Amino acid sequence: MVCSSLLLPGFLWVLPSCADDSERMEKLEREVQELKSVVNQLVEENRSLKASQEASSAKVESFAAVPVPLLSSKEGLAPSLNIRGFGHAQYDFSRSDYSDDTQGDTNHFTNGGVDLFITSKVAEKISFLNETVFEFGSNGANVLDVERVLLKYDLQEWLNIAVGRGHTAIGYWNQNFHHGTWLQTTTARPLIHRFEDDGGILPVHYVGLEFSGTLDAPGGSLSYASNVANGRGTITDEVQLIEDDNDSKMAGIQLTYEPQALEGLGVGASYLHDVIPDKAGTTDRGAEIDEDIYGTHLFYTLLPYELLAEATFVDHYNRDTRLRNVTAGGYVQLAYAINKYKPYFRYDWLWLDDADPFFSGVQDEVGYTTGLRYELSAYNAVKMEYRYVNKDDEYKNEFTLQSSFAF
């Protein structure tokens, strides 16, 4: 009894302590169970995420397995695209007549647009050329013009074949100076070689085939360019891109002889034949017009000299009126380079047969141009130019300051 009485107080003291430990254990077990639940949830989410990633990877691998067309060549590397360009900006001032009346005076700045020149070597003897011009209209509109797009086959030195849209083999200027003004000495093309959408009277663009090459000739070389293409449309500004209004095709050839004894000199001639479609609703265009264009050219371009001269005759036979109309035009251009400076002079003329219904609205024009070109850098030229223009006895004095460049 004594012993029991002595142990009882100690047991009673220990009992609450054991009860607290039991509660702690239960609490720990609950926490462990909660942690296990969280871990199991995380494991499940990880499995789901992994499965989703594997499915996405399988989709990517499946997409990658789809065959993609590759530009490859058994002969070497795939074709590479080369992009160059031209542009110009200018300030123009124009004054009509010599009177004190300033109503006809104009002055303005002009953005000449962007000319992208794209080439690619498709194969050893196959090349591609494209010239696309982004032009800016007077009404604020942007105009995209694909001026040249050609696939060319260089078969032999004496035979190259090009298919697509290009510049017609008429005269020297149209074959050597294209849409980049930096390439030419002056700020603008001669009157006779103006582009169709700029009031020009010649078919300076073609859609079809061109054959060209160079042959040995006595004392020098003979180069040629020949076109077989869609003809003109019913108006001068219509280049028939995808079809031809009649079955007749435009056909022409240009020849140039360059003597070996005098480097830089060349002389040549060109001829083009076409049949212009009739134009419904007119009194003098009820039938087709036979068109024959004859041209001669002379050049001497050995630095520091530049001499360019051309004469062109457009002969129309109107099958409706049975009348023949002849229009003539040409230019003579002289320049001399002195280091970075190049003074120049040009005389232009365009004499039309007023009875020719195809050139209705086009006026006779004569002009004198004098200017100075300065090479500000290798690919940037500044041109200061004055022009005297007589257009159907209306006189103008024009001044242009132009910065033309290549990039």
Q: Which amino acid is at 8?
A: L
Q: Who contacts 263 (Cβ-Cβ below 8 Å, separation ≥6)?
A: 302
Burial 109-136 (b: 16+ CB within 10 A, else e): eeebbebbbbbbeeeeeebbbbbbbebe
Q: Of 274, 265, 329, whose CA–CA distance to 296 is shortest?
A: 329
- φ, ψ of residue 277 to 5 degrees: the values are -65, 155
Mean pLDDT of 178-197: 95
**The pLDDT of residue 139:** 77
What is the radius of gyration, based on Cα positions, of the chain? 40
Q: Are residues 172 and 44 in the same domain?
A: no
pLDDT of residue 61 exceeding 50: no
Q: Evaluate whether residue 135 is within a structural domain.
A: no
pLDDT in tens, 224-281: 999 999 999 998 989 998 888 888 899 999 999 999 999 999 999 999 999 999 998 8
Q: Are residues 254 and 299 in the same domain?
A: yes
Q: Who contacts 273 (Cβ-Cβ below 8 Å, separation ≥6)?
A: 250, 251, 252, 290, 291, 292, 293
Q: Evaluate whether residue 157 is within a structural domain.
A: no
Q: Are residues 97 and 56 in the same domain?
A: no
Q: Evaluate whether residue 142 is within a structural domain.
A: no
Percent with pLDDT over 70 in the chain? 79
Q: Evaluate whether residue 152 is within a structural domain.
A: no
Q: Are residues 44 and 98 in the same domain?
A: no
- Structural domain boundaries enclosing 20: 15-63
172: domain CATH number? 2.40.160
pLDDT of residue 114 exceeding 50: yes
In terms of pLDDT, which residue wins out, 31 or 393? 393
Q: Are residues 221 and 352 in the same domain?
A: yes
Q: Evaluate whether residue 384 is within a structural domain.
A: yes
Most confident of the ranges 13-17, 141-145, 400-404: 400-404
pLDDT of residue 140 exceeding 80: no
Q: Evaluate whether residue 197 is within a structural domain.
A: yes
- The pTM score is 0.79
Q: Are residues 274 and 348 in the same domain?
A: yes
Q: Are residues 346 and 201 in the same domain?
A: yes
Q: Evaluate whether residue 378 is within a structural domain.
A: yes
Q: Evaluate whether residue 22 is within a structural domain.
A: yes
Residue 327 burial (CB count, 10 A): 23
Domain count, the chain: 2
Place of tokens 């789901």: 48
Range of lowest pLDDT (125-129, 143-147, 261-265, 382-386) = 143-147
- Using DSSP's 3-state secondary structure scheme, residue 52 falls into helix
Q: Are the CB atoms for 253 and 268 separated by under 8 Å?
A: no
Q: Are residues 197 and 280 in the same domain?
A: yes
- The DSSP secondary structure of 170-201, one letter per residue, reads -TTHHHH--S-GGGSSSSS--GGG--GGGT--
Round to whole Å and give the CA distance between 38 and 33.
Answer: 9
pLDDT in tens, 274-317: 999 999 888 899 999 999 999 999 999 999 999 999 999 999 99
Q: Are residues 246 and 283 in the same domain?
A: yes
Q: Are residues 47 and 179 in the same domain?
A: no
Last residue of one domain, picked from the residues 26, 48, 63: 63
Q: Are residues 216 and 336 in the same domain?
A: yes
DSSP-assigned letter for residue 100 = S
For 31, the token pair is 């926490």
Q: Are residues 262 and 321 in the same domain?
A: yes
Report the Cα 276 to chain-centroid distance in Å.
28
Name the band, by pLDDT with cuts 50, 70 and 90, for residue 147: very high
